[in-house]
Amino acid sequence: MPDQQIVIHVNGSPISVPAGCTLSAALLMASAPCRISTTGQPRTALCGMGICLECRAIVNGVPHTRTCQTVCQEGMRVETQS
């Protein structure tokens, strides 16, 4: 495991993740859904490769960001998108 850990905020709560970790992995670690579907279901990453868009979340205020293609940066804020 890479030793370096960084802190990001998932739905307001801080969580420590390994540097280089993707945001969708961080959301899974925090047991937070990426988004709430149009009929209200919680969803998490599916394809892991930028195709399915199930991993969209609000990242630093920007909605519809694909978290599986985004690498965590120190202090990043990610919120479940509904």
Partner 1 sequence: MPGFDLIIVGAGIVGCACALEAARAGLRVVIVERGVVGGGTTAAGMGHVVVMDDSPAQLALTAYSRSLWLTMAPELPAGVEYESRGTLWIAADDEEMAEVFSKQTTYAQAGIASQVLDPRELAEAEPYLRSGLAGALLVPDDGVLYPPVAAEYFLSEARRLGVVFLSDHEVVRCGKGRVQFANGTSIEAERILLASGASIDLLPSLPIQKRKGHLLITDRYPGVVSHQLVELGYLKSAHKLTADSVAFNIQPRLTGQLLIGSSRQYGDESREINHAILRSMLERAIEYMPCLKGLSGIRVWTGHRAATADKLPLIGPTADPTLFLAMGFEGLGITNAPGAAVLAIDALLGRASVIDATPYLPSRIRQEAVHA
Partner 2 sequence: MKPADVLVIGAGPAGLAAATAASRNGCRVAVLDDNPAAGGQIWRADITRPHQEDAARAAAIAAFHTSGAALLPGRRIVDVPSPSTLLAEAGGHFETYRWDRLILTTGARERFLPFPGWTLPGVFGAGGLQALVKGGYPVAGKRIVVAGTGPLLLAVAAHLREYGASIVTVAEQASTLQMLPFAASLLRSPGKLLQGAGYRRTLGATPYQTGCWPISGQGDEKLRSVTLTNGRRTWTVECDLLACGFHLVPNTELAQLLGCTLQGSFVQVDSQQQTPVAGIYCAGEPTGIAGVDAAQVEGEIAGLAAADCDPLPTRLLARRAKEAAFSRRLTHAFRLRPEVLKLASQETIVCRCEDVTFGQLQTRSNWTDAKLHTRCGMGPCQGRICGAATEALFGWQPTSVRAPLFPIPVAAFCDESSSLNAPSAR
> Within 57-76, which residues bind ligand FES (CB under 6 A)?
66, 68
Q: Which two tokens stand for residue 57?
A: 């979340």
- Residue (5 or 73) nearer to ligand FES, CB: 73
> Within 41-60, which residues bind ligand FES (CB under 6 A)?
45-48, 50-55
**Contact between 77 and partner 1 (CB under 8 A)?**
no
Residue type, 31: S
SS3 28: helix
**Contact between 13 and partner 2 (CB under 8 A)?**
no
By CB atoms closer than 10 A (0-12, 13-18, 19+), residue 24 is: buried
> Within 11-40, which residues bind ligand FES (CB under 6 A)?
24
Number of residues that bind partner 2 (CB under 8 A): 37
**Pairing of the two strands 5-10 and 13-18:** antiparallel
**Pairing of the two strands 42-43 and 56-59:** unpaired
Q: Binding residue for partner 2 (CB under 8 A) from 14, 20, 63, 75? A: 20
